[in-house]
Amino acid sequence: MNMSLEADYVIVGAGSAGCALAYRLSEDGRHSVIVVEAGGSDFGPFIQMPAALSFPMNMARYDWGYRTEPEPHLGWRRLATPRGKVVGGSSSINGMVYVRGHARDFDHWAASGAHGWSFADVLPYFKRMENARHGEEGWRGTDGPLYVQQGRRVNPLYKAFIEAGREAGFGTTEDYNGSRQEGFGAMEQTIHKGRRWSAANAYLKPALKRRNVNLVRGFVRRIVIKNQRATGVEIEAGKKIQLVKAKREVIVAASAINSPALLLHSGIGPADELRRLGIDVVADRPGVGQNLQDHLELYVQQECRQPITLYSSLNLFSKALIGAQWLLFKNGHGASNHFEAAAFVRSRAGVEYPDIQYHFLPVAIRYDGKAAAKAHGFQAHVGPMRSKSRGHVSLASPDPKDAPKILFNYMAHEDDWADFRHCIRLTREIFSQEAFKPYAGRELSPGDGVVSDEALDDHIREHVESAYHPCGTCRMGAADDPMSVVDTALRVIGVEGLRVADSSIFPRITNGNLNAPSMMVGEKAADLILDKTPLPPSNQEPWINPHWRVSDRDGAERPIERSKDAVTY
């Protein structure tokens, strides 16, 4: 060991949860905090300019560059699994979409053994972290560090999408992060004054102004555990091995991929797997790395008959003007992620709360920035929210520098195929509504000829992509459940002085994008770690469609029969 650093709390990972933890654990000035991050600075327009979102998640400088193992149900494709390797973690490379999740998601957590994590318990923490003054009164926070806004929706295609949803019989919602998630409406963004408002900007940078918080750059090789207690972490920095000591606790907040990998390298996980790799077993926890979940999505793309889409801005000259305007004034096309309209709907009668999410975009383009066609177009990103498929994260070798093995086992459950076919057919129905008549041309993808179940399945198998929402690999649950990794206070079962706090602790994936619930975990974890009295539970009740038993739409007068793709939950 070349040198030593020490703090009361050592946080592994400056991502969504880790930044929130650093802010809250250091807030009263009584405790010292070290945040260890392997990535570099988030400075520069590639990260801070919202419209440049396709760049950082495709840059080795900012991304761990993980890929899945060949996925057996997707034609053995290997899918990209970006995770932020930068200050701010994945909140510095994500799409800046803000979704809390549905109330019933957290009630499901509590019912599955995560007592104290029901919607009533977590809503106060969402409100504490938010600065969302546009939202539904009483349901939103207005003075927290995380600024949230709605997009301006200047392009008429946003209005057409919301109106088409209403014409198809679905409701609308003024605030899907308020009492009513279900419906079509404006999408929320973690953007403030034209800049990406990442967890680093919201939490970590203010925390680093305090004398009791330090950011240490280095790659964490393992957690140091003595007599079943975590005492620090071993890091590699500048080709030197260093020890960062924790006087109180080590908190792992390194992502649903890296957190389980770090536990495994530290001897916490399935004993047989660890022994095969020659790693000494500290705690036999078979759930470490299991329960891996994600959201998949497809782009349904339509040609636009009017030249009003963002396609006009994809040439180099326009991009230069957009970049200049953003650099000088922090406004214009560069100041939005362009996800400004959304929907959360139910797939069928009998589903109590939404299980399909839409992002709408007024251009036909991929996440990697490549246009789908040399023409004006628009698209809906659509996918089911609650797949039954489960995967795992495991180690490729005992070398911490080797990337872990990731297998999501996407589309392993037969219901996933019926759900995705319904998503495509429903999107076509929405795009065929009167509101889109002035705009909608031919279908670009999947294409007018892709109609049968077999053709749709082939398209799904070839084109479905991750929405980049991995979670679940250090599942929270009852301490006597052998598949639980952490208890309801996020303590790693079998090891003292060690917790995990990030999306890996989710028992089941939440509705929508995971940045918001990940930050909420950091907020709530800080109170648990400091042994503070939890914020008082909320007595607010979410809106549940009164017709959910008989219809997938807003009114009981038009129940939708789905015999062909009917599945049960």
Q: Tens digits of per-residue pLDDT, 259-282? A: 999 999 999 999 999 999 999 999
Give the Cβ contact number of residue 201 at 10 Å: 24
Q: How much helix, strand and coil, in percent to the nearest 5, is found in the chain?
A: 25, 25, 50
Residue with token string 């963004």: 189
36 is in an annotated binding site: yes
30 is in an annotated binding site: yes
116 is in an annotated binding site: no
Checking if the pLDDT of 216 tops 80, the result is yes
CA dihedral 261, 264, 266, 270 (to 10 degrees): 170
Task: Give the C-alpha separation, 129 to 140, whole Å.
Answer: 10
Which two tokens mark 420? 């995705």
Q: Residue 373: what pLDDT?
A: 64
Q: Is 57 exposed, middle or buried (0-12, 13-18, 19+ CB in 10 A)?
A: buried
Residue type present at position 185: G
Q: Residue 563: what pLDDT?
A: 33
Active site residue 108: no
Q: Is 546 exposed, middle or buried (0-12, 13-18, 19+ CB in 10 A)?
A: exposed
282 is in an annotated binding site: no
Q: Are 106 and 122 in contact (CB under 8 A)?
A: yes
Residue type present at position 242: Q
Radius of gyration of the chain (CA): 23
CB proximity list for 69: less than 8 A, separation 6 or greater = 78, 405, 406, 407
Rounded mean pLDDT of the chain?
95
Checking if the pLDDT of 560 tops 70, the result is no
163 is in an annotated binding site: no
8 is in an annotated binding site: yes
* Catalytic, out of 192, 359, 469, 547: 469
486 is in an annotated binding site: no
Residue type present at position 350: G
- From residue 550, alpha-carbon distances to 73, 182, 558, 563 in Å are 33, 16, 9, 14
Checking if the pLDDT of 526 tops 80, the result is yes
22 is in an annotated binding site: yes
Checking if the pLDDT of 556 tops 90, the result is no
132 is in an annotated binding site: no
Q: What is the pLDDT of residues 450-469, one digit of tens each?
A: 999 999 999 999 999 999 99
10 is in an annotated binding site: yes
Q: Is the pTM of this model over 0.85?
A: yes
Q: What is the pLDDT of residues 88-141, one digit of tens each?
A: 999 999 999 999 999 999 999 999 999 999 999 999 999 999 999 999 999 999
